[in-house]
Amino acid sequence: MKIGVFCSANNNIAAEYFAAARQLGQWIVEKKHTLIFGGTNSGLMECIGQTVHQGGRLAIGVIPDIVERGSRRSDSVDVDIPCGSLSQRKDLMMGQSDVMVALPGGIGTLDEVFSVASSNTIGYHNKRVIIYNVNGFWNPLIDLLDYLQRNRMIRGDYHNQLPIANTFGELTRLIEEAAG
């Protein structure tokens, strides 16, 4: 299975988020899956890429030209899929991945999450992006989604596109279910 991971590329974040990225990377290695990620050499991206690469599994980086030109490409990338923009990166990651996971992240991660979910909602694909709510990181977002749901701003149940995992066990179960 090819697992796309959206996450922070910042280094100055809590150690618990790096531990979660390493744990997911180790699970990908143990289950003999492939990682699709943003391919940068910092933050959680570097952490999960390094874990998968060093574990002997394939780490596919979808890397915008601006990242390559800025010398921010991870040495853990086994296969480099170049692209010209963040929009192309999202499209390529969606196309390459069987399921996606959102680790803690910022604006870029939110953009990726909502691009996958909204394109699922209108029928471009049936892929899910699982929100990994590491130690409640995504609670404010979940509160907002619940608010939107209560006010009928979201058709159907948003959990169909954005299932939430509060534990690592829930995450791996949801990944396996999504792969069908």
Residue 125 has pLDDT above 90, yes or no: no
* Residues belonging to the chain: 180
pLDDT tens digit sequence for 109-122: 999 999 999 999 89
173: tokens are 């179960």
Across 140-159, average pLDDT: 94
Q: How confident is the model at residue 72 (pLDDT cuts 50, 70, 90)?
A: confident
| pLDDT number for residue 34 | 98
The whole model's pTM is what?
Answer: 0.95
Residue 95 has pLDDT above 90, yes or no: yes
